[in-house]
Structure 1
Amino acid sequence: MNRSANSILILGNPGSRRATEARSFLDSSAELKNLGTEVVWENIFETDRVEARPDRVLIVGGDGTVRLAVNWLQQQDWQCPVAIIPAGTGNNLCKGLGFPLDLEQSLKIALHGEGSRSIDTISISADGEDWGQMLQITSTGLPAKVTHRFDRWRKFPLIKHPVRWLGDSFYRLLALQTLLMETRRNRSARIIIDGEELETFGPAVFVANEATIGGGFTPCPKANLSDGLLDLCVLPKVSYFEAFSLFREISAGRHLDRFPEVVYRQGREVTLIQESHPVLVDGDVLGAPEVLELRVVPAGLQLITD
């Protein structure tokens, strides 16, 4: 990856406020201008294919945009090094990888980084429909409800700016409120992981490639982006008073030690069977399937590093 880039393709979501701000920064960046390199911006929602292979691809956005961009790249006839410019609410993937969240530092790595790192991806389908690839974590139950409410609040005209400014803190407040006040906190699910069948009942199921989720929670503390495994975590049914403790322990990733009722497994393939309910995939609430099938794809993505 030592050769200089003659062409750079930048993928983004212009509907995102933070991505728009990041684009303004990149467009005015002397770092980018001084390269003398052809730079092309593409909207992943409007452009299906790019014929000419670029030397590098920069994905500008948050976790959801990164997932969409990776699936967009899967449809192209070429492969090339990929870098992430974090411009989302959580940016959990970059945090999990130890990548800088600062735009200027991220751009330097994206343009001049000479190293690479392979990470696993996850193939996901819902009710038999191929949903492509995901990178981090999918969950059902309360996390999908919390994220749906968070997205609704941050679009509400009177408070959207405070909500965006508070970010993880507001998400955590919604999570605690939902855990305590939701009338139907627990749901049944049948899970098959590498042939082992589990009957579960609790407020949330997580299948992860990376340890964290929005709000700074760590439901799958053993998850590793490069170990070729999926991590399954099922939270147990808890009382009103135990919910406070569970909330605290998940925040610190200590729930596996403090709550022996937590179901935790690692494997390569997971099938989740539930009643129709929304699912959270890399930060986005998608559909309401009854059957989710997930399979790890070892070293499915190569990322530029410094």
Structure 2
Amino acid sequence: MYDLNVIYSRVIALFSSDRDVDVKDVLAYELAPVPTAMFTEDGMRICKAKSTLKKSLQIEVSRRNAGDADVTVIDGSALLWTIHWPADGTVADFIENVKTRLTSYLSESDVYLIFDRYYDYSIKSVTRDVRETGVNKKHHLLLSTKLPAQKVVLSSIENKKQLNLLLCEELTQDRLFHLRSTNKHKLVVTGEDPCPIEIKMEERRTRYDLENQQEEADTIIVQQVLGCAGEAHQISVVSDDTDVFVLLLHHYHQAGLDVPLIMESPAREEQ
């Protein structure tokens, strides 16, 4: 934690002293770890209306007019909130529901599924700790564990880390799922490991070309969109995150891409 008042007072004290201080040199460096006009000291955003920017920039089109994508890049965290959550089921039951949804995507296109990573003592960890206020119950999740409430799992870093790990293991190791669902298109899963895993039928390989140490799925999504843009005829990004939307706008323009790119929210299943 940085005390911005202390930083400011020390700079003022330097200016008031007899020391030869070059103001331009001092102000050439950030005096705070985050832009103070946009963030509080604990890293939380002051601005809460980012979605307004997205609504101003987006152009909505019907699914019919959008065309068919041959590559689908999915924000894993957004997807999990929309999958049917079996109240009386187990973790394994929920994972089967995730596989069913992915199978529907894989019937139409290659799928790149991306989960957030959770590094201890990272810049992002402070923000996540603040968001987690009010969700304190930690569970030890196994495939056979009775599924806790959706909010208890998906709003807790420790619980979500366990669920993501189980999901990635099942999605990359379940051969029956691979044979049933990846006979037409490939599945690329990005979890805690820096390199994603690609599955196509019984072939499983590490995608060293997509190696990435980033923690946020937002930036990994953009990296993988750029990585497959040269081969795809149309790309669909499944996410409702404004950060992803703005990052895609910037990098699409900067990279000079011309492949059709759409962004859509994951469809919510009835609970």
Identify whether the pair has TM-score above 0.5, normalized to the shorter chain.
Answer: no
TM-score normalised by length of structure 1: 0.22
More strand as a share of residues: 1
TM-score normalised by length of structure 2: 0.24
More helix as a share of residues: 2
Tell me which structure has the larger Cα radius of gyration.
2
